[in-house]
Chain A
Amino acid sequence: MTDARFSRRRFLTIGGSAALLAAAGGLTAACGGGGSATGARSATAKVTYPSYIPTTLVKPDLPATPDGVLAGFYRFPDNPVTAFDTKPGEGLGEISVLTNMFNPVPPGVNSNAYWQQLNDRLGATLDITMVPEADYLAKLSTVIASGDLPDIMLLSARLANRADILTRLCADLSGLLSGDAVKAYPFLANIPTDSWATTGYGGGIYAIPIPRAIVGTIMFSRDDLIEERGLSKELSSYDDFLALAKGLTDASKNRWAFGNPKGVIAFVGSMLDVPNKWRVEGGKFVSELEVEGRKEAVARVAEMVKAGLFHPDSAGGKLNLRDLFGNGTIALTPDGYAAWDILADTYRVDVGGLVAPGGKHRGGTPAFAITAFKKADEDRVRRLLKVCDWLAAPLGTSEYMFRKFGAEGVHYTWKDGRPEPTALGKAEVKLPLEYIADAPHVLGPRAKERVDAQRAFQERVVPTVVRDPSAALYSDTAVNKNGVLTKIIDTAELDIVSGRKPISAWDTAVAEWRRQGGDQIRRDYETALAKGN
């Protein structure tokens, strides 16, 4: 999803980059030269990230682990704790926010009781400019170029010249968040260190993350279909995986193992020790595309396509994979970790996760994006952070319940131990607050069996997670040329797996990838890492 979304808008990113830089310069002057450009955009090693201090305010049924296994809840905690005894935004007046949204647009503040009550609870007027996710980067680039920055803005990982924008235009939060200073914001301190990686530049912290779990993508399996056919999902080798896929395929009944070659390449790659984007060997970066395992993964998937284990339309990339998974047309599908509940709830089928043989799991991106703040006096920034702290209050607090479900009796009622939105709740409680600041995700609250299954999966794979060593580093080329480079590789993969080209075409594509920007990205990262050291 992420790749497609960003590549569609790449032209805007590149087209706008010059203007963004110009705007950056102009604004710096306007701000009185407050933020000096750092030159070393990615010297992040000197950053002291905020300490990770898991909150003790709420006790989950299964606590989160330091390496990134999510906390689990079997039910909504009784009697939510009220974490704030004062209004966090008192004295701020109006807070302008620019963020994206995935939900349908909610009613405006004048006709939205939930929004009005939110303002009341915050003690400030939250003026949210919300933009559909697909258009967000265009809007963000334009607003930044115009110099009319909002108080709080969500910055996408694919925003061109992000380092310049952060260091020149945005408030330096280091003094307020580094190390134990974050204790002043207990729910920001509750965000694991992994998620903070992209917030640091030039020795400073310039944003807070919207946290996501390190587990990332899961190869979901229809466990009911696997059981029905007497197959096993315990894989000890690639051959086991192949046997499972063959056992799940029955073209005469319109049933196939897979619908998406790209996700399967990544899964097979993790069996073959393929790095997560990059691997560092003695200070040198090696791309996942350059290792033999990745090439072999493409070749193996091409064999599987040839053997008829993929849906006939899988090469088109337009399949509605979730529906096909739900109706049993395909039995294995890679998807984000949160899809576990969506798939199980929507289609009422047994969903499980497949663990790749070989003991490695490719980690996900531990932050959806980052939230930065317009330069202002320290007291205002401190208060804005307090508002974000309020917005990051976790499950089990009354702040969380209001944020997610609104006011009890008005926007939701309790049904079988779960909040059931009222008609008003469905219409009004759709503000994209989780893209301003959010608590780390948790497993559940759901039935114990579901949460236990998810937890067991995470406990198995998270200790073996292969993290992306470039996550905390920044490269202009990686951002600005993302679309071109992704297309080179995607096209080559598709050509090979669909049988249009032999596997030898892979080497040509990787050479092209290196020439068009891959080598430059490597140099950027190596320089950044060296400077940090």
Chain B
Amino acid sequence: MIVRSLKGVVLAACCAVVILPFLAVISTSLADQQQVTAAGGYVLWPSRPNLDAYRAILAGGVVTRALLVSVGITVVGTLLSLVCITLLAYSLSRPGSLLHRPILLTVLFTLLFAPGMIPMYLTIKQLGLLDSYWSLILPGLASGFQIIIMRAFFQEIPRELIDAARIDGAGELRVLLRIVLPLSRAVIAVVGLFNAVAYWNAFFNAMLYINDTEKWPLQLVLRTYVVDNSSLGVDAADLAGGFMPPAQSMQMAILVLSLVPIALVYPFLQKHFAKGILIGAVKG
């Protein structure tokens, strides 16, 4: 009995360690300035909850527009990435495919050397992609690391299955679509999730390539709240003295807003996620 109680206490403590930060973030996002001030930063339970911070963020339609942009980039980017990565990984998993070795070496080469900021910018500029959504999608379309993970997974699929399909008259595309992909849901899910999270979280590339603020993704818009409110200084002096929701609650509201979409997707992919990580761990 004592052992069980002890286990309960330990588990409750573990839960608290996980839950309390989330509670603090959500509670602070709902608190007003007085409570934030009294608590010295984070509020654990708002006594007078209000949605002022959310209202301020969502006013003007900038954030909602950015949300749509981010969803668009994430969905289109992830789908295109999956298509490219799957096709490339499948072809590289089959020995004897056209230019197998040079292409594989090229993919591996990208793991060793990342392009610098300025060369990337110049490339994007010369391709005429500045201020285009494609500048946020195309550069990260096929990650070498993910190609290697997926290739490793495809190589695990028994060769006899593929040979059997061939004997039944299936071509490469049919083998891929009917045999390989249905068996590869786990790795597709994990690569998809990797890409989705990367597209969703990216802000730096948008900062460099997108000048038109109407095309900014959510993370870059939110960054203007989080980073800059935290460094309010001489330059944030507001002569008007107009009302601004408390910086801290606004930042926490932003955290909540940016976490919600990815948190909604995660539970459905989580079981594949752990499995996918293991694939990469044992064979590369």
Contact = CB atoms under 8 A, between A and B. Distances in A.
A439 to B, nearest CB: 11
Interface stretch (B88-96, B158-166, B173-181, B225-233): B225-233
A368 B235 CA distance: 8
B41 interface: yes
B45 interface: no
B184 interface: no
A19 B40 contact: no
Interface stretch (A38-46, A48-56, A336-344, A385-393): A336-344
B51 to A, nearest CB: 15
B1 interface: no
Interface in A317-346: 320, 322-324, 326-327, 329, 335-339, 341-342, 345-346
Given A323-B36, A426-B59, A105 B221 contact: yes
B203 to A, nearest CB: 8
Main secondary structure of the interface of B (DSSP, over half): helix
A146 B62 contact: no
Interface string B208-233: 10011110100011011101100111
Q: Give the size category of B's interface with A.
A: 35 or more
A462 B25 CA distance: 43
Contacts of B248: 320, 323
Contacts of A395: 239
Contact of B208 (A139, A212, A338, A423): A139
Contacts of B221: 104-105
Contacts of B237: 336, 338-339, 341-342, 441
A146 B125 contact: yes
Interface stretch (A107-115, A164-172, A237-245, A371-379): A107-115
B102 interface: no
Contact of A132 (B57, B117, B223, B240): B223
A179 interface: no
B33 interface: yes
Interface string A293-337: 000000000000000000000000000101110110100000111
Given A19-B118, A146-B125, A342-B232, A107 B60 contact: yes
B121 interface: yes
A187 interface: no
A388 B120 CA distance: 33
B253 to A, nearest CB: 12
Interface string A422-466: 010111100000100000010001100000000000000000000
Instruction: Name the residue among A106, A322, A327, A428 with the largest chain B CB count within 10 angstroms.
Output: A327
A216 to B, nearest CB: 9
Contacts of B204: 135, 138
Given A141-B118, A145-B118, A339-B237, 18 more contacts: A16-B117, A102-B232, A103-B228, A105-B216, A107-B61, A107-B214, A129-B211, A134-B228, A134-B231, A138-B204, A320-B248, A323-B41, A338-B235, A339-B234, A342-B232, A404-B240, A421-B243, A428-B60
30 contacts: A2-B233, A19-B118, A103-B224, A103-B228, A104-B224, A105-B220, A107-B60, A107-B62, A107-B213, A108-B214, A132-B223, A133-B227, A135-B207, A135-B223, A138-B204, A139-B207, A326-B37, A327-B38, A327-B39, A329-B40, A337-B234, A338-B233, A338-B237, A339-B234, A339-B237, A412-B240, A418-B240, A426-B242, A428-B60, A445-B239
Interface of B: 33, 36-41, 56-57, 59-62, 116-118, 121-122, 125, 204, 207-208, 211-214, 216, 220-221, 223-225, 227-228, 231-243, 248
